[in-house]
Structure 1
Amino acid sequence: MVTIGGTGVMVLGALVAAVVAALLALLLRRRTGTPTAVAVAGLLWSVVAIALVTLVPTRPDTGFVPAETRSTSCSWDYGGPSGTTFEVLGLDQRTLNVLLFVPAGLFLVLAVGRWWAGLVLAPLGLLLLAAYSLGIEFVQLQVARIDRACDVTDMVDNVLGAGIGFVLGLVLLPLVRPWRGRRTAH
Structure 2
Amino acid sequence: MTPAGGIEVMLLWVSLSGAFFGLLALVMRRRLGTVSAFAISGFLWSLVVIAIVTLLPTDPDLGVVPAEGRATSCSTDIGGPAPDGFWILAGGQRLLNTLLFIPSGALLVLGASRWRIGWVLVPLGVAGLAAYSGLIELAQLELARLDRACDLTDVVDNVSGAAVGVVVGLVLVLVLRPWRRGRM
- TM-score interval, smaller chain: over 0.9
Bigger drift between 57-66 and 103-112 goes to 57-66
Distance 1:3 1:63, change over 3 A: farther
How far 1:64 moved relative to its partner? Answer: 1.2
Matches within 5 A, 1:1-186: 3-83=3-83, 85-88=84-87, 89-181=89-181
Given residue 133 of structure 2, which amino acid in structure 1 is its aligned partner?
A: S
1:78-118 CA distance string (max 9 Å, x none): 111124x3343322111110000000000000011100011
1:127 and 1:30 mapped to 2: Cα distance? 30
Q: Report deviation, 1:172.
A: 1.3
Query: Is contact 1:3-1:63 (8 Å) kept?
Result: no
Deviation at 1:2?
Answer: 5.3
How far residue 69 of structure 1 moved from its aligned partner, in angstroms, is 2.3
User: Which shifted more, 106-115 or 65-74?
Assistant: 65-74
Secondary structure of 2:180's aligned partner:
helix
Q: Cα deviations across residues 49-74 of structure 1 (Å, max 9, x unaligned)? A: 00000000010111112334210100
Name the aligned partner's letter for residue 96 of structure 2: L
Letter in 1 for 2:12: L
Q: What is the total number of aligned residue pairs between the two structures?
A: 181
Unaligned ranges ≥5, structure 1: none
1:131-164 CA distances to partner (integer Å, 9 max, x unpaired)? Answer: 0000000000011111100001101000000000
* Residue identity opposite 1:25 in structure 2: A
8 A Cα contact 2:85 2:96, kept in partner = no
TM-score (norm 2): 0.94
TM-score under structure 1 normalisation? Answer: 0.93
- Conserved? CA contact 2:56–2:146, under 8 Å: yes
Offset from partner CA, 1:10-66 (integer Å, 9 cap, x none): 111110111011101100000000000010111011100000000000101111123
Q: Distance in 2 between matches of 1:32 and 1:104?
A: 19
Question: How far apart, CA to CA, are the structure 1 residues paired with 2:93 and 2:64?
Answer: 25
